[in-house]
Amino acid sequence: MYKNEIEIDIFRCINALKKNIKFIAIITVLFFLVGLGVTLDKGNDTFGAKATVYASAVNSYSDAANAVTAMNAYMDVAKSYKVCQRAALILGRSDVETSDIQNSISVYSSQDTNSLSSALAKANSATIISFTARTSDPDLSMAMADAMAQAYTIEMANILRADSVKVLDNAYTYYMAHDANKSAWKKRIIAMMVGFALSSFGVILFEILDKNVRTVREATIGNSLPVIGIIPEYKE
């Protein structure tokens, strides 16, 4: 028994896409509108600011070495509730609570990277800890990063019984960590591309699975049957 196998004719698929261009355009626009509706509430821009602390030698280099060891051993202290609570008190804003600071702060250590600066820092028994604050208010981000750095130095002074951990750089400036408008447009464009891809795939799949006979090869089951004659296309 003869059976037609599924064959993919590229030119036929391209022609199918051209014939169904309106359908593809409609689906693409619909997906874009869905993406637009989903991202109407695009949220707020987020601004980041960074302050850093380091271990310094107060009386001797052994003090700095001890401070470095303590900073690495007590990394969890940097974002602890106690430090964030002290930072909230230093910040002195009624609209900012301890939990807000914990959710907005990220802590990084120079010992976590493999960069050249990190290697030099290790060689000189120095560890730099960065406090990065991200909020919708650039001034608040800078103030929060500074407050965290100050609160951490106070906490480490209580642990070490020495003023070996100091603020290296305050958050003098800020940067845009998240552009809400740009992010929303990215999502809308992605939704539009998904609509275009799905509609195009649907058209091509329908064309491939279409069992209508259009060519001599299809009529002869892939040239498996002999051709007695061909009726040419007639145009008046």
CATH number of the domain at 64, please.
Answer: 3.30.70
- The string of DSSP codes covering 178-231 is E-HHHHHHHHHHHHHHHHHHHHHHHHHHHHHH-----SHHHHTTTTTS------
Same domain, 105 and 150: yes
- Looking at the fold, whether 73 and 142 belong to one and the same domain comes out as yes
- Domain count within the chain: 2
Q: Mark whether 101 and 200 lie in a shared domain.
A: no
Print the domain residue range for 192. Answer: 10-40+181-219
Does residue 60 share a domain with residue 151?
yes
On the question of pLDDT at 191 being above 80, the answer is: yes
Percent of the chain with pLDDT over 90: 45
Q: How confident is the model at residue 115 (pLDDT cuts 50, 70, 90)?
A: very low
236: in domain: no
Neighbours of 192 (CB within 10 A): 20
Alpha helices in the chain (DSSP H): 10-19, 21-38, 61-73, 81-91, 98-104, 116-123, 138-160, 180-209, 216-219
Please state, in angstroms and rounded to a whole number, the distance separating the CA atoms of residues 144 and 138: 10
**Shared domain check, 50 and 34:** no
Q: Is 1 among the domain residues?
A: no
Let me know whether 80 and 50 are in one domain.
Answer: yes
**pLDDT, the chain, mean:** 81
- Do 34 and 127 lie in one domain? The reply is no
**Residue 211 vs residue 80, higher pLDDT:** 80
Same domain, 152 and 79: yes
Q: Do 17 and 115 share a domain, yes or no?
A: no
- Tell whether 58 and 167 lie within a shared domain: yes
Supply the angle between the helices 81-91 and 138-160 in degrees, to the nearest 10. 130
CB atoms within 10 A of CB 113: 12
**Whether the Cβ atoms of residue 136 and residue 44 lie closer than 8 Å to each other:** yes
pLDDT at 179 over 60: yes
Please tell me the predicted confidence (pLDDT) of residue 88.
93
The confidence band for 119, taking pLDDT boundaries of 50, 70 and 90, is very low
More confident residue, 7 or 71: 71
**Cα separation of 166 and 161, whole Å?**
13
Residues 15 and 102 in one domain: no
